[in-house]
Amino acid sequence: MADVIPLRIGGHEVAFRESATQVAVAPAPGRARSLESTLQSLGTRKATERRGRLGRFEIVDMRMPEVEAAAEISALGRSRDVRESVSVYHTSDDEVPFVPEGTLFLRFEPDADADAITDVILRYDLELVSASGGFHTVRTFTRDGVRLAADLQAEPAVLLAEPDLITPRNLLSFLPNDAMLARQWHLENRGEIDGNTAGLKAGADARVVAAWRRLGSLGSSETVIAVIDDGFDLMHPDLAGKSVDPRDFIRGTADVTPEPDLFDQRGGDWHGTACAGVAMGKSGGGEIVGAAPNATLMPLRMTEHLSPLNVAEWFDYATDHGAWVVSCSWNAEAAVYPLPARVARAIHRCATEGRGGKGAVVVFAAGNSGKDVNDPPRTQNGFATHPDVIAIAACTSLDRRASYSQTGREIAICAPSAGRGGLGITTSDVTGTYIDGSGVERPRGYKPGDYYAEFEGTSSACPLVAGICGLVLGANPDLTAAELREVIRSTARRIGDAADYVNGHSTRYGHGCIDADAAVARALELAAGGAPRVAAAAPRAGEATRGTG
């Protein structure tokens, strides 16, 4: 049972509950990278979760029975990589952490004489840091700050004793209040939606809301995400007023409006709007938000077939018009499609010469056949196997592999989408109606209304990753595309069976499920000069489908 310690803080009685499973650790001098390895190893061996940084500390949650957690916390505290191991406290069921920093704010009773004051300081082994106007800042090296404050508050000579506690800023004012945010489990999965827990597992998400909190924003409008797809409803409340350089490669115009299929409502150009909503639906416009709500959309309407000339033109356009990220939720209909040299070269140019020479990040959906992306002569997805591409598999709201998701050595990471036993993705849908070939009025889009709650496939996973890449580049625009790819891979969280991973990679999950918060944290660390530049990984071995979702 966790201890509850009452303290007077700011004149109010506050109950601090000591966490039985969380600990705050700070690295020993020169051991920061070694501690990073220790925590990664612990996460591989045990059910632990890293909850982010608070000041010089990192919060680690031992998600296991209390007795076992206590043993792991004790062992971690004894590690030579750890300089400080401090208890984590909570003041309510919201689980927001409070960590004692080691200093206390102290004031003695006006009638306390010098002997009484000296007695308290010596008895509690306090170091005087500063004194001003009757207030003292003292430091403890041997006691937990919360427990020490409780003892000091019981001393007759002490008028005030408060520990200096680190806790996250309350940034709720900037977080979205869009009506359907609670249904967007892929951004933050709390294990229930409107009281329903079926198909949900708390934490089975992409950590996007946590990334927004870390950034203190919803990303940067400087970030330009090109989505190459079948059409875009730029009048949709989630997409209106946030596009740049639109291009329709069918009509040769800037009008990327989706076209209906007059004889099959399901066959209309609805896919691009859904993808754009997942990537960057804006906050406060409609009822959902994308992963990078402040990012700018470059909508590129593709032709209904793939030719090397056409595909190269799309990527050249994205390169020449300043795209930071390029999202591609499609592949070739053929099971075996080795990438033509013209296309390979255009993708390589985009990934190396785009964004002012830093390279644009190119993201492709792996596909939905459930097969290997590179198993010739049976299968070969030339887009997913291009060495400059981030190939995306899909996982579910239960942190399981989506059964349809393609596999292979070239899978970089997976990202949340629909799948067996889990929930679909809620995103933007094309607005309005049209008259079909029989004279019947039908809704434009997948379903009546402006939103679609069943978007699925690697088609949905891909723009989610694209949006997260936009967040990361907004946090550190100096990252090259190759460095960004390595950041995304190295910060992914492991899901599934540990035996699936060989040398850190799984053919099912890639390097794991994308973790927006960890990736943003790494990008910010690199921007601050707190870590060496990321080494780019070595190249990997080795008619259009209307979306792969």
Phi first, then psi, for residue 505 (nearest 5°) are: -130, 140
Q: With DSSP H G I counted as helix, E B as strand and the rest as coil, what are the percentages for the chain, rounded to 5?
A: 25, 25, 45
Residue 197 structure tokens: 């827990």
Query: Would you state the structure tokens that stand for residue 423, as one six-digit string?
Result: 């929930």
Based on the residue annotation, tell me whether 271 is a catalytic residue of this protein: yes
Nearest to 355 by CA among 403, 298, 302, 309: 298
C-alpha distances in angstroms, 463 versus 147, 285, 305? 48, 19, 21
Q: How far out from the chain centre does Cα 379 lie?
A: 31
The one catalytic residue among 136, 186, 236, 271: 271
Residue 405 phi/psi, 5-degree rounding, is -65, 135
Whole-number Å distance between alpha carbons of 379 and 103: 62
d(CA 48, CA 502): 20
Catalytic residue among 329, 397, 405, 459: 459
* Spatial distance between the Cα atoms of 413 and 415, rounded to a whole number of angstroms: 7
229 is catalytic: yes
Residue 92 annotated in active site: no
60, 69 Cβ separation under 8 angstroms: no
Helix-helix angle 481-490:516-527, to 10 degrees:
130
Residues, the chain: 549
Instruction: Report the chain's C-alpha Rg in angstroms.
Output: 26
Q: Is 142 helix (H, G, I), strand (E, B) or coil?
A: coil
* Residue in 311, 259, 272, 308 with CA at minimum distance from that of residue 547: 272
* Burial class of residue 23 in the structure, from the number of CB atoms within 10 Å of its CB (0-12 exposed, 13-18 middle, 19+ buried): buried
* Cα dist from 383 to 102, 149, 292, 377, 415, whole Å: 53, 60, 24, 16, 18
Burial class (CB in 10 A: 0-12, 13-18, 19+), 309: exposed
Q: Which of 61, 178, 229, 269 is catalytic?
A: 229
CA 149 to chain centre: 37
Could you give the angle at the alpha carbon of 175 between the alpha carbons of 172 and 176, nearest 5°?
135
Q: CA distances (Å), 443 to each of 49, 259, 435, 448, in order?
A: 44, 12, 9, 5
- Decide the pairing of beta strands 336-337 and 379-381: parallel
Write out the catalytic residue numbers: 229, 271, 459
